[in-house]
């Protein structure tokens, strides 16, 4: 799996509507009103916040690969797929990411799994004192609580976890490569997890590609183990997945704004109360509208304008704010963003 393939899929969704940076913002999980709206409107939630620490240099390297193979082209700052790019995108396998719902939490799950395996491995050999694989106190406390509340002995818990992992790997239908990366990264009492350098050499794949394989494998494990149906079949993994899924799509700051908005305060009034810029509150309102099918948009735009913009979007497939602004100069960018939030693409 290559980063360039993921970028290609995102560009396909936003073809001819957004700049290159829009894809980078999606992968990093930027919490701006525009990016939140793009994620929903273009149906690219699986890729949101997939790589929060993605370096721009790494991103541009992947983009250059797409350019060198003539899969994408840039015109006036906007990225388009070439015909060759469309064919290449159509041949890509289905990605099984869920970035929108797990944003920023995959590493937590990974550390929980690594520490639990390490702890059980040490305890099986009666080694109660060891250097934990992570210094994250929250993860350490989580594993302590989990082990304290499990009814089985440590020996039996180790065997149960091994069986659950084997079952989950099979049921999730992850690739053999993903299963290999996940298993070889685990650390036990008598065997340390493989480094990325070791995996690169053994599997003849780049580190970036292997890390993406690991990421999708973990997404598959969480998606399977968090479901109610598998709570009994995979009780330990089900526990490890607790709290990983984001319960509310809104940021903490937007939740506060929503409470004030629901009380009837205007944007300017909310800005004063919260001591924030009105533009920031507008971003929050756009985020709320994007995630609320019953959002009272007519508080902000006239029905005639709402229908006119939606008609323009549907007839000419125009989703670029600048072009819409030229067509409807009397509407603000904020109003246009709100209208776009009511004319979303297919749901993910």
> Does residue 67 sit in the same domain as residue 121?
no
| Cβ pair 87, 13 in contact under 8 A | no
DSSP characters over 319-346:
--HHHHHHH-TTS-HHHHHHHHHTS---
* 348 assigned to some structural domain: no
* 347 assigned to some structural domain: no
Mean pLDDT in runs of 10 for the chain (348 residues)?
Answer: 94 89 93 81 90 93 95 91 95 92 90 94 80 93 92 84 92 93 90 92 93 95 88 90 85 90 94 93 88 88 91 78 89 90 51
Instruction: Give the pLDDT of residue 344.
Output: 55
Instruction: Give the pLDDT of residue 343.
Output: 64
CATH code (residue 18): 1.10.10.10
| Domain count for the chain | 3
* 267 assigned to some structural domain: yes
H or E segment at 30? none
Instruction: Give the pLDDT of residue 40.
Output: 81
Instruction: Give the pLDDT of residue 230.
Output: 83
> Does residue 258 sit in the same domain as residue 236?
no
pTM summary value: 0.80
> Does residue 201 sit in the same domain as residue 266?
no
Which residues, including other chains, have CB under 8 Å from residue 29's CB and lie 6 or more apart? Answer: 48, 49, 50, 52, 99, 103, 104
* 246 assigned to some structural domain: no
* 335 assigned to some structural domain: yes
> Does residue 322 sit in the same domain as residue 273?
yes
Q: pLDDT for 171-208, tens place per residue?
A: 999 999 999 999 999 998 878 899 999 999 999 999 99
Nearest-angstrom CA–CA distance, 8 and 84: 11
> Does residue 132 sit in the same domain as residue 215?
yes
Range of the domain at 69: 3-95
* 100 assigned to some structural domain: no
* 153 assigned to some structural domain: yes
Q: Phi, psi at residue 74, to the nearest 5°?
A: -110, 130
| Cβ pair 225, 234 in contact under 8 A | yes
H or E segment at 318? none
Tell me the three state secondary structure of residue 81. strand
> Does residue 218 sit in the same domain as residue 121?
yes
Instruction: Give the pLDDT of residue 144.
Output: 93
Nearest-angstrom CA–CA distance, 127 and 96: 38
> Does residue 121 sit in the same domain as residue 219?
yes
* 208 assigned to some structural domain: yes
Nearest-angstrom CA–CA distance, 58 and 64: 10
Strand partners of residue 291 = none
> Does residue 25 sit in the same domain as residue 84?
yes
> Does residue 235 sit in the same domain as residue 164?
yes
């Amino acid at each position: 799996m290559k980063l360039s393939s993921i970028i290609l899929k995102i560009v396909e969704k936003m073809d001819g509507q957004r700049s290159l940076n829009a894809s980078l913002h999606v992968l990093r999980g930027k919490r701006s009103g525009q990016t939140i709206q793009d994620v929903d409107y273009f149906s690219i939630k699986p890729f949101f916040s997939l790589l929060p620490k993605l370096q721009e240099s790494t991103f541009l390297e992947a983009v250059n690969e797409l350019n060198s193979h003539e899969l994408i082209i840039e015109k006036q700052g906007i990225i388009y797929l070439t015909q060759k790019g469309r064919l290449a995108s159509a041949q890509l396998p289905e990605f099984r990411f869920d970035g929108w719902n797990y944003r920023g939490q995959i590493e937590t799950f990974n550390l929980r799994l690594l520490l639990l395996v390490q702890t059980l491995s040490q305890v099986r050999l009666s080694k109660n004192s060891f250097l934990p694989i992570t210094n994250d106190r929250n993860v350490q406390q989580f594993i302590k609580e989990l082990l304290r509340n499990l009814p089985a002995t440590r020996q039996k818990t180790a065997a149960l976890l091994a069986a659950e992992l084997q079952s989950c790997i099979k049921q999730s239908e992850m690739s053999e490569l993903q299963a290999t990366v996940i298993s070889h990264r685990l650390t036990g009492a008598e065997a340390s997890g493989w480094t990325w350098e070791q995996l690169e050499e053994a599997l003849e794949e780049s580190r970036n590609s292997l890390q993406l394989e690991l990421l999708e494998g973990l997404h598959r494990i969480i998606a399977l183990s968090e479901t109610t149906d598998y709570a009994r079949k995979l009780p330990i993994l089900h526990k490890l997945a607790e709290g990983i899924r984001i319960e509310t799509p809104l940021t903490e700051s937007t939740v506060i704004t929503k409470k004030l908005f629901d009380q009837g305060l205007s944007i300017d009034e909310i800005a004063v109360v919260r001591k924030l810029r009105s533009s920031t509150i507008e971003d929050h309102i756009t985020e709320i509208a994007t995630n609320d099918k019953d959002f009272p948009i007519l508080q902000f735009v006239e029905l005639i304008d709402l229908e006119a913009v939606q008609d323009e979007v549907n007839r000419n497939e125009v989703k670029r704010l600048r072009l819409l602004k030229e067509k409807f100069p009397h509407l603000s960018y904020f109003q246009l963003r709100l209208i776009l939030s009511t004319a979303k693409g297919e749901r993910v």
